[in-house]
Amino acid sequence: MRILHTMLRVGDLDRSIAFYTDVLGMRLLRKREIPEGKYTLAFVGYGEESDTAVIELTYNWGVAKYEPGTAYGHIAIEVDDIRKTCDAVRARGGRVTREPGPVKFGSTVIAFVEDPDSYKIEFIERRK
């Protein structure tokens, strides 16, 4: 068994695809409209779906905003240089909500950013 994808409901599919591809450097792997169900799916990721877990962005036609809720935590992405990554996110218009630094009660270096729908993404710096 393996994790295939994480699904997020988004209010503006083009804006979300731009964030995950232009700001976070993922690729748009596939996009599919389901007219009967009035929704569109877009899958983004760093590798092929056959090899890695990806993110499914679901746009329900006519729904412009969702509340992430109190049960949602975050998506974690490993990065080589967390400070450079946060600088690149800012340069591309992304929002860093927690600057790089050690996790509370530990030494792992983390940072947080938010996507356009306020979903949190954690960067974890790869240990050298």
Residue ranges of domains in the chain: 5-60, 75-125
Residues 11-40, mean pLDDT to the nearest whole number: 97
**128 pLDDT more than 90:** no
- Please indicate whether residue 33 is annotated as part of the active site: no
Alpha-carbon torsion 74, 59, 29, 92, what sign? Answer: negative
Q: Identify the active-site residue in 33, 114, 122, 125.
A: 122
Residues 87-96, mean pLDDT to the nearest whole number: 97
**1 pLDDT more than 80:** no
Structure confidence at residue 85 (pLDDT): 97
Residues 40-61, mean pLDDT to the nearest whole number: 96
Neighbour order of strands in the sheet with 27-34: 5-9, 54-60, 39-45, 27-34
Looking at domain 75-125, its CATH architecture is: Roll (3.10)
* Terminal CA-CA length for the chain: 29
Mean pLDDT, the chain, as a whole number?
A: 95
Domains 5-60 and 75-125 share a fold: yes
Q: Could you tell me the pTM of the whole model?
A: 0.88
Return phi, psi of residue 127, to 5°. -70, 135
| 5-60 to CATH, choices 3.20.20.370, 3.40.50.720, 3.60.15.10, 3.10.180.10 | 3.10.180.10
Structure confidence at residue 13 (pLDDT): 98
| Burial call 52-83: b when 16+ CB within 10 Å, e when fewer | eebbbbbbeeeeeeeebeeeeeeeeeebeebe
Residues 97-113, mean pLDDT to the nearest whole number: 95
Q: What separation in angstroms does the CA of 47 have from each of 35, 43, 85, 98?
A: 28, 11, 18, 26
